[in-house]
Chain A
Amino acid sequence: MNYPVWQLDWAGGGLLIALIAVVHVYVAHFAVGGGLFLVLVERKGLAEKSAAIMEYAKKNTRFFLLLTMVFGGMTGVGIWFTIALLNPAATSALIHIFVFGWAIEWVFFFCEILSLFLYYYTFGRLDAKRHLILGWIYFGCAWMSLFWINGIIDFMLTPGDWLVDHNFWSGFFNPTFLPALFFRTFLAFMIAGLFGFVTAVFIRDEQTRHAMIRFSGKWLLGPFILLMLSAWWYKSALPAALQELIFTNMPELTFFIKTFALLSPLLVLGGLLMAMLRPQKVRLPIAALLLLIGLVYMGCFEFIREGGRRPYIISNYMYSTSILKTDLAKVQAQGVLQSARWLKNREVTDENRMVVGRELYNLLCLSCHSIGGPLNDILPIAQRFSSSGMNAFLASMGKVNSYMPPFAGNNEEREVLADFLTLGLVHNVPRLKTPLVQQDVTPYPYDPEAQYLLAAWALDGMGFTSNPDTSGLDFSPGLPEIRAQLIHRGKAPELLSAGVSVTYTLDVDGVKITGVMAGEDGYFRAEISALANVQQPYHLVEVEARGDGAVLARTRLMVAQSSEVDCNHCHGQDLAAEKQGLSRQTAAHILARHDKRSKTALKHRFDGGEIIVCGDCHADASRGMPGQKGILNLSASIHGFHAAYMAKQGAGACAFCHPTAAQGASQSLRGLHHSLGFDCLNCHGSIAEHGAALLKAEVAAGKVSAGKLLKVIGDTSVPVESIVARVPWLNMPDCLACHVGFQPPETDSAFNLWTKDNEEIFHNRKGDEGVIFCAACHNEAHVLYPAKNPYGTKLDVQQPMQYQGNSLPLGANRGCKTCHTVDMEDEMHHSRSLADFRNVPEE
């Protein structure tokens, strides 16, 4: 925020520092370990009075000088230059906090140079004792350089008490200072052994060569156990949260941790091979290979250490975006555009949206993400997001993705950055939806004299499917279920079930499907398995009741079963896919992310052709799947996990996965409440609140992971402590929470007032008479009469139109004759059932 950003693009994401740091650190450790190596080789040569060893010692010193002093020294300055260019704010902080630490290190750097020059140029010109003293002085100074640098480097990872007292010594002797010092010292000795191999293989005298290779082998193998012990100490000294971040929560580091672990025995094996094998043809390539392995080994360690700091450049003090932790809230409040110094644009307009997006990218992203480069390339990431998906992802930073800093800007800036990433940087134009071919349907004609009334409704007016047959991933709720009640009209209507058969018919992709509805206690039901995979969101179902072979009644209803599951907003999309619904590419990405986060192997099974059913592990009550013990149920898991991403998106969050988008292909929110301006949040709360309620029930059930998700759930309008836990598909929004006593509501929020059991759920609830389902007259909760389907005014009001010639709930406005054939005086179904219907739509 304080400094300009070097707009590196391809070379961004820390590539420069990675390149220069890994080689420098490798050579710098050699400069320490190698210092002792030189002295001890000389001592060995003197003790054994071996001219060959002494010659090797001198040649080795020249190689050492040219490598460590020239390359090591210059790249050391190079690191300083580089960090100051890539993150001047952090460099400035380190310089100012530790200026005298750096200055002391400079003193030792000077003494190193002088002693090494003197050591090399007096080889053979001084008596042994004096010459060895120079060597010891060099080693002492080199190790002291490590001592001082180590304190500052590890301060960045574990600043310890400095965060509180800002005392030089608290920061320098931080919690990982000692273990890191030991670790690096042993590593330096091992690296000296690796370089020793490379120089020793060139000794002409075979006996000396073999002796020096074995000598180098001791340097590699001797400190190994100590290195492992200090590594363990190092890890233990890390704060618990940091350990969890590095070893559990950052899948990006897994590669480096595994490689480090894998290379450890390889180095030992290589060292043993070098000691045992004598043929020169074998030794030289092994020595070179070991040197390379050492470099990778060092690189892995540095990547783990650097990665462990994320999202900070100085842990718990300064984010990698150069924003101080203490300043973040202020920056978020006033916005990046008003906080940063080096910005050209302070306001967003339609014309400069992409330019501002780029400026925000430079400030907030470039330090970790290159554009098209080899390190943390943003392009493949951006390519899998839509703008709204990216917006959700940016909002999740610092929560689910705790290794990324929280987004520092305001809502508008987040949208602008998301647009730049997905429309400016890559051209991720959302996939065109399959055009809806549904046409309006004329209801059966109104016949006031009809003997029977067949009421039929779908259990879920918001049904959706992940199209498992084509996507390979099945997280669809239970199959669409329809229910029907057959009423014999009369003064005292009779509910018919015995001796009656009810069938349903629908057309699925040109194929006529017929099924029999099972008779239950006072109603009929059927699950329509033909709708497990669909393209169109609405499906006209004909229901027919027969008795003694004759048709008693028939009616129509719309079953909503949409494939509009827009995981592709964040999980990538198959741009070539022409069909609506979850693509295999998107499903593959979801599973890959799941594997990465939860250490599963689902993607492999998916690639093998298996359909992955989420309910196999995550309990799904809508399908009667018990899941696996200890694992979150599907609703809690999906909503709880994604809440951190979408908490700021209001009802838009729901539209990512449910077919509620205002401009979507389904627009399944089409009931009375929607007409009145309500959205998902009025009943369910925001996704954060919804997720919190579900997670709290899982916490109560003893599931540990629920607690972790609950911690990062995102902003809720009421404190999480006040949110009432709910079990999915059992504790549902309760209509009577607003319509207390069936009276006009005094509130517009049913959130947090859940049904207590199965009987209270709207689609199971019956009138006071205990016979007629609420949904038989009102339709399903999301499609309450008078419903307005965007694709046809009569589509979702087939039965009211058929039975009473209007779109109101059956029997509304004292239309008792719909069933009773006479007017009634008692409100036997529920209070106010004889009152005027308050929300008659304008025709």
Chain B
Amino acid sequence: MDFRTLIPSADVLPVHWAWFQGLLNVTFVLHLILMNLMLGGMLICFIHQWRGSSSESERFIVGKLPFFIAFTVNFGVAPLLFLQVIYGHFIYTSSVLMACSWLSVIVFLLAGYYGVYIYGIKWESLGRARGFVSGIVACCFLLIAFIFVNNLTMMQVPETWLRYFDNSKGLLLNIKEPTLMPRYLHFILSSTAVAGLALALYGDWQMRRGNEEKKEMRKMGLHWFIGSTLCQVGVGLWFFKTLPPEVRSFTGSLPAWLFSLFLSFSILGTLVSVVLALGRKVRPAAVVVFITIVFMVGVREIVRVQYLAPHFTVSDLQVVPQYSPMLLFLLFFAGGIALVWYMVRLVMRGLEVQS
């Protein structure tokens, strides 16, 4: 059987595909940062618990985790929505093939979410059980990440879909995918790096406000960032080597050129951010990391395009235009940002008045 016959036909789009590609990437950048804070923050907490080096920083992270989870999920909804619009026929298929684990994401998410609340609210009373709770939550998050990496790699390798005919119970994974483990480790290390940098950023901000006690927090955060990023060099190389030659090709086509451009900026940004971090220049490092993440998301998108190139390109999608709903969405989106601004200002001023 030819696996290409299995690729479902796509539905029509209401606006040009580039809109969805843009919205996908913008919202994914935000999701990625929040996810890094959530996963990385949790891993840092767990490792500190495990080492027995529980600190004030850990307590600080735990207090923020519920926000990170809520917004990670919320900002995960948008890119998944836009992904389904342009790559739906791939992601739906791979999801069905690994349906059991894909659906278990919700169970792990609920367990992790409530676990975080227990971890934070019952901090004192948990005592030594904190390590256990943080371990459970960390495992939940790691499993979610693992499942996501499986699905998002399986969707771009339809040649593996024929396995469905031997197992249609939704029990497949994409374990044999060469990029799976380096990709997974790449995300885990990114998360501890970003969470560490965020911690350092907060510590730095506090120090600038005269709170010298936060020096330790900045130091610890930078250690996590630098350590994770240095490990990332090896993992990144491994990841790169496992990519199929046609995917990691630097020349020959527009996507290949873009790949080489984005990857170069990403590597450069990573190196610069480490150098800045080593010099304790936290805020510049954070700006560079943000830009690097944007380029890495670009690399990731090009990799997907290259993987699917033999079977599909987004420009193939048929458009039956109707732009008014999009205009309304953009209006609501702007309104939403204004509302967020209004609420934050309302609270800030209110707190100032109260203090």
Contacts and interface: CB of A to CB of B under 8 A. Distances in A.
A137 B339 contact: yes
Residue of B71, B161, B347, B351 with most partner-chain A CB within 10 A: B347
Contacts of B287: none
Interface stretch (A99-107, A226-234, A744-752, A769-777): A99-107
A604 interface: no
Nearest to B336: A107
A325 B109 CA distance: 38
A362 B350 contact: no
B253 interface: no
Nearest to B342: A137
Nearest to A140: B339
Contacts of B328: 100, 104
A159 to B, nearest CB: 16
Contacts of A341: 5-8
A69 B78 CA distance: 17
A118 B347 contact: yes
Contacts of A125: 350-351, 354
Contacts of B73: 73-74, 77
A2 B8 contact: yes
B353 interface: yes
A88 B96 contact: yes
Contacts of B74: 73, 106, 109-110, 113
A133 B99 CA distance: 42
B85 A96 contact: yes
Interface stretch (B163-171, B289-297, B308-316): B163-171
Nearest to B94: A4
Contacts of B325: 98-101, 168-169
Contacts of B320: 166
A134 B5 CA distance: 53
A81 interface: yes
B117 A70 contact: yes
Contact of B106 (A74, A103, A169): A74
Interface residues of B, number: 69
B283 interface: no
Interface in A121-148: 122, 125-127, 130-131, 133-134, 137
Contacts of A85: 95-96, 99, 102-103, 170
Contact of B110 (A4, A5, A74, A84): A74
Contacts of A75: 106, 110
A637 B23 CA distance: 60
A81 B71 CA distance: 18
B89 interface: yes
Contacts of A106: 74, 77-78, 81
A96 B12 contact: yes
Interface of A is mostly: helix
B14 interface: yes
B78 A91 contact: no
Contact of A70 (B97, B113, B329, B351): B113
Contacts of B81: 95, 99, 102-103, 106
Interface in B309-348: 320, 322, 324-326, 328-329, 332-333, 335-336, 339-340, 343, 346-347
A110 B78 CA distance: 10
Q: Which bracket fits the contact residues of A?
A: 35 or more
A359 to B, nearest CB: 9
Contacts of A93: 11
A122 B353 CA distance: 13
B322 A168 contact: yes
A237 interface: no
A126 B335 CA distance: 24
Contacts of A89: 8
A110 B190 CA distance: 25
Residue of A16, A92, A103, A130 with most partner-chain B CB within 10 A: A103
Contacts of A334: none
Nearest to B323: A100
Contacts, number: 191
A16 B96 CA distance: 14
Contacts of A66: 114, 117
B268 interface: no
Interface string B79-101: 00110110011001101110100
Contact of B336 (A88, A91, A110): A110
Interface in A582-606: none
Contacts of A100: 14, 325-326, 328-329
A821 interface: no
Contacts of B353: 127
Contacts of B1: 344
Contacts of A114: 340, 343
A43 B113 CA distance: 31
Contact of B96 (A3, A168, A344): A3
A81 B88 CA distance: 13
B143 interface: no
Given A103-B81, A106-B74, A118-B343, A96 B103 contact: no
A107 B333 contact: yes
Given A78-B106, A99-B14, A113-B71, A4 B93 contact: yes
A71 interface: yes
B345 to A, nearest CB: 10
Given A81-B105, A95-B81, A115-B343, A6 B351 contact: no
B125 interface: no
Interface in B178-225: none
A518 interface: no
A611 B249 CA distance: 83
B67 interface: yes
A324 B353 CA distance: 60
A576 B7 CA distance: 50
A59 B6 CA distance: 53
B96 A91 contact: no
Nearest to B75: A110
A97 B23 CA distance: 17
Nearest to A96: B11
A97 B6 CA distance: 24
A294 to B, nearest CB: 22
Given A100-B326, A111-B339, A169-B324, A92 B102 contact: no
Given A103-B81, A106-B74, A341-B5, A6 B67 contact: no
Nearest to A16: B103
Contacts of A78: 103, 106
A96 B5 CA distance: 23
B206 to A, nearest CB: 19
B53 interface: no
B113 to A, nearest CB: 5
B88 A96 contact: yes
A113 B325 CA distance: 24
B6 A342 contact: yes
Contacts of A678: none
A477 to B, nearest CB: 50
Contact of A134 (B322, B332, B346): B346
Contacts of A71: 110
Contacts of B75: 110
A111 B336 contact: yes
Contacts of A104: 328-329, 332
Contacts of A402: none
11 contacts: A6-B170, A7-B169, A74-B109, A100-B329, A104-B329, A113-B71, A114-B340, A118-B343, A122-B347, A130-B349, A168-B324
4 closest A-B pairs (Cβ-Cβ)? A88-B92, A100-B325, A78-B106, A126-B350
Given A81-B103, A127-B354, 12 more contacts: A4-B164, A7-B169, A8-B169, A8-B170, A77-B106, A84-B84, A92-B11, A95-B11, A96-B14, A99-B85, A104-B328, A341-B6
